[in-house]
Amino acid sequence: MRRFSLADQVIEEAAPDLQDALADAYRRKVRPLCLCKEPGPAMYIAQVGDQYVVKRMPLSGGGHDPSCFSYEPPDELSGLGVLMGSAIQVDSESGMAALKLDFSLSKVGARSAPPVGAGGSDSVAGDTKKLSPRGLLHYLWHEAELNVWTSRWAGKRHWWNIRWHLIEAARQMTVKGGPLSDILFVPEPFRSPDKTAIEQRRAEALASAVPPKSGPRKLMILVGEVKEFGVARSGHKLVVKHMPGFVFLLDDGLYRRLQTRFEPEMALWGADEASHLIAIATFGLTPAGLAVIEEMAVMVVAENWVPYESAYEKKLLDALARVRERSVKSLRYSLPLDKPAVAAMLQIPPRPVGLYVVPPSSDHAYEETLGELIASRPEFDSWIWRTADGEMPPLPVRQDRVPVT
DNA sequence: ATTGTGCTAAATCGACCCCT
DNA sequence: AGGGGTCGATTTAGCACAAT
């Protein structure tokens, strides 16, 4: 439970008059301080719908106490660090993040003209100036805090949670001048009794992807769970969960690139029944009403919707899934796989522990960079699983002394 | 109030480079 | 050798402002 100070007033998060106090502070532009630490880190008040919520300042998650709900491992440990300030520019007053994307959100040419050289540059590219589709997916997932987990949520995280948090997160982001939430499409949970109403709302949501009579076509961004890929009469099709009877079309070139680039993801997805494959894609509608995907990237998430990128990380997540303490999975964004980054943080008292997974293919340079990474953060303990050396060591537990390295 | 003009930002095109 | 991917240059669209 968080406590805040607003000017001279101290208020509990659960206080009945919290909303009134926040509304008042919002008008007076009073900056709340979180009382998890002394001195308390500054926060800001955001208006979300008709509610006022207290959010941490961008890049300040590390300033909170590890037990605090607002605590977040520093961005430098994941792939997010290099993107902050360039591809992602956060306005510290409003908390809005302006995102620079490396893919188009509109198309001017003929409908069927596939972009020749504009393939989805993803996991390998180390561009720090712009977000790839998967970088955007990672950032959305991160901001929606879907990379956070505690065993207390077991069985409680469903698609409607995922969807709500993603949309909430998107409201705090702008892309190419407009709010991301305007062009983000996340299918709502499908219930057959509500079929007609759902399809009606879907048609409304997709209105801005309808091609205009003249001028460029606007694209929308889909985030959804892949149900299956199939063969269409020409090219391939993508069926998204919660969207029965609706297909997204991919041309053969895109499908082939997708299978090549995301071969590890496809394999991981195929290897575990409980895992989900999350797709992000830009798409537009044809005049005939067909949805055609322009660019696409995917990400594998475990049963609890926490992303992973290797079988080793999956093992780690399986172990973390049973742990009551909060864990935060790090996302790589555009960071190449051969660069060390923390796999996850485990928030146990007295100090958070960085969990590192060293791939079997690591070389000397990897170890060296990893050492520097750990040394640069003396405020954390570290736990390292060198996969080449064998099975995963036991996770650190509360009150533990310095874990084995 | 409407239309014209200038500016900015984004998309596209073409050339080059790298990896397979 | 070929297909992608990247980078840089060019073109275009959209927006804001201004003038009639």
Q: Residues with Cβ < 8 Å from A362, sequence gap 6 or more? A: A338, A340, A370, A386, A388
Task: Tell me, yes or no, whether A306 lies in a domain.
Answer: no
| Per-residue pLDDT tens digits for A200-244 | 999 988 887 887 666 667 788 999 999 999 988 878 899 999 999
Of A86-90, A217-221, A318-322, the least confident: A86-90
Tell me the backbone φ, ψ of residue A209, rounded to 5 degrees.
Answer: -95, -5
| pLDDT the model gives residue A97 | 81
**Percentage above 70 pLDDT, chain A:** 89
Weakest-pLDDT range from A120-129, A141-150, A262-271: A120-129
Instruction: Point out the domain boundary residue: A63, A93, A113.
Output: A63
Identify the domain containing residue A351 by its residue range: 311-389
Spatial distance from the CA of A104 to the C1' of B9 (Å): 13
CA of A251 to C1' of B11 (A): 21
Same domain assignment for residues A226 and A96: yes
| pLDDT surpasses 80 at A93 | no
**Which has more pLDDT, A100 or A21?**
A21
pLDDT tens figures, A156-192? 999 999 999 999 888 888 887 778 888 899 999 999 9
The Cα A109–Cα A111 span in angstroms is 6
**Stated in angstroms, how far is A106 CA from B3 C1'?**
27
Q: Name the range with the highest mean pLDDT among A19-28, A44-53, A384-393.
A: A384-393
pLDDT at A404 over 70: no
pLDDT of residue A127: 52
Is residue A125's beta carbon less than 7 angstroms from any atom in nucleic acid strand C? yes
Same domain, A54 and A112: no
Bases of chain B with protein Cβ within 7 A: 9-15
Domain match, A27 and A114 both? no
Phi-psi sector, A333: left (phi>0), alpha (psi -120 to 50), beta: left
Q: Where are the beta strands (DSSP E) in A104-256?
A: 106-107, 148-149, 173-175, 178-179, 184-185, 217-218, 220-231, 236-240, 247-250
The answer to whether some atom of strand C lies closer than 7 Å to the beta carbon of A257 is yes
**Is residue A403 in some structural domain?**
no
Q: Does residue A359 share a domain with residue A297?
A: no
Same domain for A100 and A195, yes or no, is: yes
